[in-house]
Amino acid sequence: MNDFKLLTHRLRREEDVVTARQRARQIAAALGFDLHEQTRIGTAVSEIARNAFRYAGGGQVAFEIAGSPQHFVIVVSDQGPGIPDTDLVLSGEYVSTSGMGIGLVGARRLMDGFDLRTSSAGTTVTLRKRIPAHRSIGPGDINRLMSELQRQSAPSALDELLQQNQELLHVIDEVQLRETENERLNHELGETNRGVLALNAELEDKADSLRRVSETKSRFLSHMSHEFRTPLNSIRSLAAMLASRLDGPLTSEQERQVEFIRRAADSLLDLVNDLLDLAKIEAGKVEVLPSRFSIGELFSTLRGMFRPLMTSDAVALRFGNTAHLPELITDESKLSQILRNLISNAVKFTERGEIEVTATATDDGRIAIAVRDTGIGIPAEHVKSLFQEFVQITNPLQTKAKGTGLGLSLSQQLAVLLGGGIDVASEFGHGSTFTVTIPRSIDDSFDDTEARRNARRHPHAAGQPVVMIIDDEDADRYALRALIPPAYEIIEAKGGRDALDQLARRLPDIIFLDLGMPDLSGFEVLSAIKGAPDTHDVRVIIHSSLALSESLANQLLEGGAETIIEKGFTDLERMRERVALIIAS
């Protein structure tokens, strides 16, 4: 135990209060407390001792060292009537005309520990101040301390008053220094605030500039993507026509060249489509078009899509059982696009083993679709950068599987649009698992509009229809002519105004209408056709390379268009069948 009783001082006269304060400061100095702490301890002891003398008629002050870690302990006790309303006093809410409450509260704030016990038999106040950590008080220190206290004579009231004046001056100096420092800090803070305001204004300007740049980039990508899609669709369509040998046989070398053209056009169109999708997402112009479908139907479509690509027996593509899963109400096209990207990556980077696509229902009403492969895997340091735009991981298969690095970034953003996200788990050399998790229903107010769209179709005139193609692109008109059955008469218009002039002279049964024309847009031509009594009942098929939003598509359908088909094809016969069905319906 390191507890030591130092001395006890009786409180009989007013002078004894002064002595108690002096003894408290002397002991505090000997224990290693600095001048500031000595003053705090002496002031606290003086306040409590004066309360004991004034309100209880006297008492005593005991000085001790106790506890671990060691504390300087001062116990002031009396046999007075006790202190009423102690809770109010210590909370600072008690209003005392004599100042007793102020003394108790002030002493408690000056010390590390404060304990008050009071009753009708008397009051005991225990004050504690932790001894500086660099000091450890032992019996030898106590003996030297007691000897020193005995040599020091009791101070006179005048000496103590002078000491208090010196302490007061020291405190005033400290306060003035602190005020000066506070003024300096306030000045610096004011300068800093002005700098922050200026920086915020600059940041806002830069943010506005970045927003404008982003909007300009998105508009540029959207516009240029459409401008690229038009000739690319023509190239793909014409390549398909050549490959189908409509104009005669091809030599083996010509067939190879046409295939190279088709592949290059497909690759470039994929890039353009990805850029266009990213631009639309960044511009906030992508609409989610929910429909009701089963995961089994989605998997069946994906299975048929990828079957021709699985040319090696070394890799197996398997789809899990989905019979136990509920239907989804979400954007099937976007979910399919996400899964196509994930499966395509798995096919590219898996030389042997298997690719497995499975779906599970989570406890929180979501659906998790995982694409697991046994491919090359991804190094841990590259996983975080996978979903950044144009990021590609260098690996032995990269030279074989070309790409733009947009697929995963686009897939992640599409998944977010559907209310979910994509997670990846991968071990380098042992494969990867990409899991897209989305809500089972993205829209509780979903209403299938397919029936309404079918109801808007107009029956065509009896007999063999005359087909008008309205398009400013020669190649697109040429490609579309190849899709229309040869028994039907075809007339062409090279723009909106040319079409309206021809319609005034001859009325077709069906019109294939492009949207992006320089003189009159397809929207204006459609409005003119449906607004005139003579042409109101002519069937209009929108034939465009524009990626239409839901609102624009609905605007066209509400405006009288029968259906919308996208330009470009790689399978000539399948597209012929589709166009023939549209004409004959």
CATH number for the domain that contains residue 394 = 3.30.565.10
pTM: 0.44
**Has residue 207 been placed in a domain?**
no
Alpha helices (H) in 307-369, listed in sequence order: 332-348
**Has residue 12 been placed in a domain?**
yes
Percent residues over pLDDT 90 in the chain: 21
In this prediction, residue 478 carries a pLDDT of 87
**What residues contact residue 3 under an 8 Å CB cut-off, 6+ apart?**
64, 65, 66, 67
Which sign does the torsion angle of CA 462, 466, 470, 473 carry?
A: positive
Percent residues over pLDDT 70 in the chain: 82
Q: For residue 516, what are the domain limits?
A: 455-584
Instruction: Confirm if 114 and 126 have CB atoms less than 8 A apart.
Output: yes
Band (pLDDT 50/70/90 cuts) for residue 459 is very low
Residues 499 and 393 in one domain: no
Band (pLDDT 50/70/90 cuts) for residue 458 is very low
Q: How far is CA 73 from CA 112, 127, 130, in A?
A: 10, 6, 9
For residues 129, 135, 141, 146, the Cα torsion angle rounded to the nearest 10 degrees is -30
Which residues, in sequence order, are bridge partners of residue 113?
128
**Has residue 99 been placed in a domain?**
yes
**Has residue 205 been placed in a domain?**
no
Q: Which two tokens stand for residue 220?
A: 């540029």
**Has residue 123 been placed in a domain?**
yes
Band (pLDDT 50/70/90 cuts) for residue 206 is confident
**Has residue 428 been placed in a domain?**
yes
Q: Is the pLDDT of residue 168 over 70?
A: no
Instruction: Confirm if 25 and 39 have CB atoms less than 8 A apart.
Output: yes
**Sole residue written with tokens 């001859």:** 506
CA atoms of 35 and 170, how far apart (whole Å): 10
Q: How many domains does the chain have?
A: 3
Mean per-residue pLDDT, 185-205: 82
CA atoms of 477 and 471, how far apart (whole Å): 6
The average confidence (pLDDT) of the chain is 81
Which sign does the torsion angle of CA 484, 487, 489, 492 carry?
A: positive
Which residues, in sequence order, are bridge partners of residue 399?
none
Q: How far is CA 332 from CA 276, 337, 564, in A?
A: 19, 8, 18
**Has residue 268 been placed in a domain?**
no
Residues 399 and 466 in one domain: no
Q: What angle do CA 46, 49, 52 make, to 5 degrees?
A: 150
Q: Which of 387, 404, 439 is the last residue of a domain?
A: 439
Q: Which pLDDT tens digit goes with each residue over 215-235?
A: 676 666 666 656 676 777 778
CA atoms of 160 and 168, how far apart (whole Å): 12
For residues 345, 567, 458, 334, the Cα torsion angle rounded to the nearest 10 degrees is 20
First to last CA, the chain: 104
CA atoms of 177 and 488, how far apart (whole Å): 100
Q: Is the pLDDT of residue 45 over 70?
A: yes
